[in-house]
């Protein structure tokens, strides 16, 4: 199973990068470099250390924002899912946050919190937290009532029902929400650097575009995508380790 999954991922990457190389050689646009040119630019930034300096700035709001979003998002989602009153009060707030155009909110955040770390953390949280909250609340709310009643029939306390029944049953959807939220958090981190202050990877993207160094621009974008994919794969492995009994595999297995 793991060998098949790895083979399919490698095949998917080969198709994507091959299409990228072909599109760059046609070219589809003068501003679209080939895959090889972008990887050469990425290697150059890697060996001269500029990529590590950029990520030193980018990871600060990203890590803080994702940590806050994950902890508060799961807690609030659990709270909403367990109570119809809190669902009625707070669910609309997160639905509006998810639907609101973030670019229009960034100037308000800058006016309130300046152009420092706080504003960037807020951007990451606004992008990541609604997805986590809504997925968690939906998973908790849709836990089969029969297994909750069974736990109570065996004299389980409310805490037992929450931590031994609801959370394990809801864990697949909760982790799916975490993966989606973290993906949105990566987008928020780069967007904050592009819209608030050009620092980190966002600075590389902005500067490379301004001097028409498109291979470096695409290399920086590619690097953040790779980092996000690696982080999401680690999260998927953590889910399988913690909740191994919940893994059902694929329909084609």
User: Consecutive sets of 10 residues in the chain, 253 residues long: mean pLDDT of each?
Assistant: 70 89 87 91 92 89 92 90 84 83 78 83 89 89 77 73 78 86 88 83 89 92 89 81 60 49
Q: 120 is in which domain, residue-wise?
A: 41-243
Residue listed under structure tokens 């072909």: 22
At 2 the pLDDT is 58
Residue 170 lies in a domain: yes
Check which CATH number belongs to the domain holding 199 and give it: 1.10.3720.10
Query: Structurally, how many domains does the chain consist of?
Result: 1
Residue listed under structure tokens 């498109």: 214
* Residue 8 to residue 22: CA distance in whole angstroms: 21
97 Cβ contact list (under 8 Å, min separation 6):
126, 129, 130
The token pair that represents 16 in the structure block: 């994507």
At 171 the pLDDT is 82
* Residue 136 to residue 81: CA distance in whole angstroms: 7
DSSP symbol at 100: S
CB 193 within 8 A of CB 199: yes
**% helix, strand, coil for the chain, step of 5:** 85, 0, 15
- Threshold 0.85, pTM exceeds: no
Angle (nearest 5°) at CA 80 between 76 and 81:
115
At 251 the pLDDT is 45
- Cα torsion for 24, 206, 229, 138, to the nearest 10°? -120
Residues in the chain: 253
Residue listed under structure tokens 């679209």: 32
At 247 the pLDDT is 55
Residue 64 lies in a domain: yes
At 218 the pLDDT is 93
At 116 the pLDDT is 81
At 67 the pLDDT is 92
Residue 14 lies in a domain: no
b/e string for 154-193 if b means 16 or more Cβ within 10 A?
A: eebeeeebbeebbbebbbebbbbbbbbbbbbbbbbbbbbb
């Amino acid at each position: 199973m793991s060998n098949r999954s790895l083979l399919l991922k490698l095949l998917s990457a080969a198709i994507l990068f091959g299409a990228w190389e072909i599109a760059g050689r046609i070219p589809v646009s003068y501003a679209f470099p080939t895959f090889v040119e972008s990887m050469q630019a990425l290697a150059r930034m890697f060996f001269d250390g500029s990529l590590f300096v950029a990520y030193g700035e980018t990871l600060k709001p990203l890590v803080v924002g994702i940590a806050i979003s994950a902890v508060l998002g799961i807690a609030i989602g659990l709270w909403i899912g367990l109570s119809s009153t809190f669902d009625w009060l707070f669910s609309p707030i997160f639905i509006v946050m998810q639907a609101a155009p973030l670019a229009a909110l960034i100037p308000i955040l800058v006016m309130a919190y300046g152009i420092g770390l706080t504003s960037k953390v807020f951007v990451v949280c606004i992008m990541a937290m609604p997805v986590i909250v809504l997925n968690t609340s939906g998973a908790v709310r849709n836990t089969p009532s029969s297994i909750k009643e069974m736990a109570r029939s065996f004299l389980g306390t409310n805490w037992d029902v929450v931590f031994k029944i609801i959370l394990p049953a809801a864990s697949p959807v909760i982790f799916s929400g975490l993966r989606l939220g973290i993906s949105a958090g990566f987008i928020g981190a780069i967007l904050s650097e592009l819209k608030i202050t050009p620092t980190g990877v966002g600075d590389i993207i902005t500067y490379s575009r301004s001097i028409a160094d498109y291979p470096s621009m695409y290399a920086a974008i590619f690097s953040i995508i790779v980092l996000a994919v690696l982080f999401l794969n680690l999260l998927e492995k953590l889910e399988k380790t913690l909740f191994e009994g919940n893994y059902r595999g694929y329909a084609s297995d």
